[in-house]
Amino acid sequence: MIFIIVLLVLFFDQLTKFFAAKTIGLNQSIPVINNIFHLTLVHNKGAAFGILKNQTLLFTAISLVTIFVICHHLRKKRGKGLDIFTISLSLILSGAIGNFIDRASLGYVVDFLDFRIWPVFNLADSAITIGAVLLGFLILKSNKEKKQN
């Protein structure tokens, strides 16, 4: 099941980035819902929100370490069923791989989802964020349970 989650998220991430790059001009914005949601093609050479621009080598290395560590943890969980922890790591892994592919092949990450109140992002970023929120929830829940015992 882990493989299916990672494969599906990775497939749709790369597919949507491909279509965005082929149909939207760089820095062009196409309103889907005017002033709320646009498709805006951006080449992000930094990290989240474009911070630390032109640090492609650093982010590529961080991505590789993240991918390795998560794969190691998921391999230990193989065959033990699917739980929220496994789903969260699978989402983070698929997002890390998706953005790694961009950095390694293009030198930047393709971003195109633009809600106007937030920096432009992509499906890989969404998967990482959802996975991190789930993981954070599990950590908080675990800490609360430990304090009660």
pLDDT digits (tens, 9 = 90+) for 23-48: 999 999 999 999 999 999 999 987 66
> What are the backbone angles phi and psi of residue 53, rounded to the nearest 5°?
-60, 150
Are 114 and 36 a contacting pair, CB within 8 Å?
A: no
Q: What is the pLDDT of residue 147?
A: 79
d(C-alpha 38, C-alpha 20), whole Å: 12
* Residue ranges per structural domain of the chain: 40-148
Q: Which residues are catalytic?
A: 111, 125
Separation of alpha carbons 85 and 137, rounded Å: 10
Q: What is the pLDDT of residues 95-130, one digit of tens each?
A: 999 999 999 999 999 999 999 999 999 999 999 999
Contacts of 57 (CB under 8 A, 6+ apart): none
Strand order from edge to edge, sheet including 37-44: 29-33, 37-44, 109-114
